[in-house]
Amino acid sequence: MSNYQKASFLLSVADVKQLPPDEGIEVAIVGRSNAGKSSTLNRMTQVKQLARVSKTPGRTQLINIFVLDEARRIADLPGYGYARAPLAAKQRWQKLVDTYLEHRECLRGLLLVMDIRHPLQPLDKQLLAFCEIYDLPVHVLLNKADKLSNLAISKTVKEVKAALTVYRNSVTFQIFSAAKGTGLKELHSLLNGWYEFK
Ligand code: GDP
């Protein structure tokens, strides 16, 4: 049985060496600032505290770890692409995330949150290319679907589908709305597979 509502905050780390032991199953969530990563965490688990932690000043550049049970965790990676962030902070983020993605054995897959109105920005593509190298499964959430008409959604879905065919690792996607809950069932069903919930 899945238990997303039991998610609770464990710790924030600035260095991969401070992470909990590399065992069990971890799913990471990442996205450009403002794409809706915190709202997605909130919707996924129905735990408001999670989104608050991931928004706490000083923690936005860290990896925040949430625990579902003794074997399963969510890793909230720092949001990227915040235009006004100093270069040094961007480079720190990049190094932390790259090291995490490259070395974390228990990492089962990455949820990549995008604003459906601006999908596949250069930094999203950079991240996808990186995941391809390490053969990491990625599930893209085209968030804020409530902001578009059905017609505009279909057009975007077609474009995104075509664009994602270039990657050789498993890259799936779905439409989502953290605000309205659209696509939540589909997301939970994907996560149930990754977390090996029966
Ligand atoms: P983060 O920076 O990626 O963590 O993004 P947030 O979760 O803080 O969301 C950024 C802004 O987008 C906030 O104003 C949210 O209320 C809004 N937002 C997030 N998800 C949705 C969505 O599905 N629909 C709409 N309309 N707004 C959303």
Look up the CATH number of the domain holding residue 157.
3.40.50.300
pLDDT of residue 72: 97
- The predicted structure's pLDDT at residue 172: 98
Ligand 1 atom nearest to CA at 34: 2
Whole-angstrom CA distances from 162 to 7, 71, 120, 166 are 35, 36, 12, 8
CA nearest to 101, candidates 152, 28, 189: 28
Cα 141 to Cα 112: distance, rounded to the nearest angstrom: 6
CA of 37 to the centre of ligand 1 (A): 7
What was the pLDDT predicted at 190?
97
Atom number, ligand 1, closest to the C-alpha of residue 143? 23
Provide the residue-wise pLDDT of the chain in tens; the chain has 198 residues: 788 999 999 999 999 999 999 999 999 999 999 999 999 999 999 998 888 888 887 778 899 999 999 999 999 999 887 777 788 888 888 899 999 999 999 999 999 999 999 999 999 999 999 999 999 999 999 999 999 999 999 999 999 999 999 999 999 999 999 999 999 999 999 999 999 998
pTM (2 decimals)?
Answer: 0.96
Centroid of ligand 1 to alpha carbon of 115 (angstroms):
9
The residue segments making up the domain with residue 97 are 2-195
User: Which residues lie closer than 8 Å to 161 by C-beta, 6 or more apart?
Assistant: 173
CB contact set of 137 (below 8 Å; sequence gap of 6+): 108, 109, 110, 131, 169, 170, 171, 172, 194
Query: Cβ < 6 Å from ligand 1: which residues?
Result: 31, 33-39, 79, 143-144, 146-147, 177-179
Query: Per the structure, how many domains does the chain have?
Result: 1
